[in-house]
A = this chain, B = another copy of it.
Amino acid sequence: MTEVKILKDILEVNDVIADQNAKLFKDKGITVFNVMSSPGAGKTSLTIKTIEAAKADGIDLAVIEGDIASAIDAERIQETGVKAIQINTGGACHLDANMIRSALKHLDLDKLNALIIENVGNLVCPAEFKLGETYRIMLFSVTEGDDKPHKYPLMFTEADALVINKMDLLANTNFDMDHFRKTVLSMNPDLEIFEVSCTQGMGLDKWSTYFKSHIKNA
């Protein structure tokens, strides 16, 4: 009970800061995508592919990378020429609104159309903490199994778009795509779903079109 009460307090404080972040993003005309998934689902790979498509259209964007430790992902992003701010949570299993507020000091917000926030790899807590984002993008790989919506419902329910990655491995798994799609759509009827393989370049055009069409001031 104590733990639940404490969590409630933390979430309320977080929501206040998230609303302040959201107002700042709106004032500056920046569309913000909060990308969430399990570890290893391919968030950084998808972010890099998305950057490539966005840059080709002249969209100015930046990336905030969340990890427990290391700067591996930010270094991968910087290779694309896009600025990436690494947040190391030092143990916390999710980003929170205050971490984002601190990271924003290192970005020139007047020059950005879009910001991609790559959350800590975790199918649970990131969905509980609003960051002030415009859209919540969930990434999920077929190797994680088609039973996960039942076991980790919140993120599937809260996402605006679901990108299903590692489609090139689908035939090597017992993942039932029809069952999976029906389950997630029963939980979240407005969810936009994309099937991709970041390593093989499959299905990324449709995803990139969605991403770019949702940026307000590009």
Q: Contact check: which of B69, B72, B122, B166 meets A122 at CB < 8 Å?
A: B122
Q: Mark A35-67, 1 if CB is under 8 A from B, else 0.
A: 000111000000000000000000000000001
A29 at the interface (CB under 8 A from B): no
Contact pattern, A 71-93, Cβ under 8 Å of B = 1, otherwise 0: 01100000000000000000111
Are B124 and A93 in contact (CB-based, < 8 A)?
Answer: yes
CB closest chain-B residue, reference A14: B3
Q: Among the listed stretches A17-25, A105-113, A140-148, A202-210, which one makes contact with chain B, having 4 or more residues with CB under 8 Å of it?
A: A140-148
State the 9 A-B residue pairs at the shortest beta-carbon distance, nearest first: A40-B144, A93-B124, A143-B143, A70-B150, A40-B145, A39-B123, A67-B151, A38-B39, A93-B125
6 A-B residue pairs with Cβ-Cβ distance under 8 Å, sorted by A, are A38-B123, A39-B152, A67-B151, A91-B124, A120-B124, A143-B143
Q: How large is the interface on A (under 10, 10 to 19, 20 to 34, 35 or more residues)?
A: 35 or more
Cα A92 to Cα B125 in complex, Å, equals 8
Nearest chain-B residue to A41 (Cβ)? B144
Copies of this chain: 2
In the assembly, what is the distance between CA of A69 and CA of B152, in Å? 7
Contact of A128 among B69, B73, B91, B145 (CB under 8 A): B91
Q: A68-B124, A121-B152, A168-B172 are in contact. Are A39 and B144 (CB under 8 A)?
A: yes
Residues of B within 8 A of A123 (CB): 38-39, 121-122
Is A169 touching B143 in the complex (CB atoms < 8 A)?
A: yes
Any B CB within 8 A of the CB of A102: no
A93 touches B122 (CB 8 A): yes
A:139-179 near B, CB below 8 Å:
141, 143-145, 147-148, 150-154, 166, 168-169, 172, 174
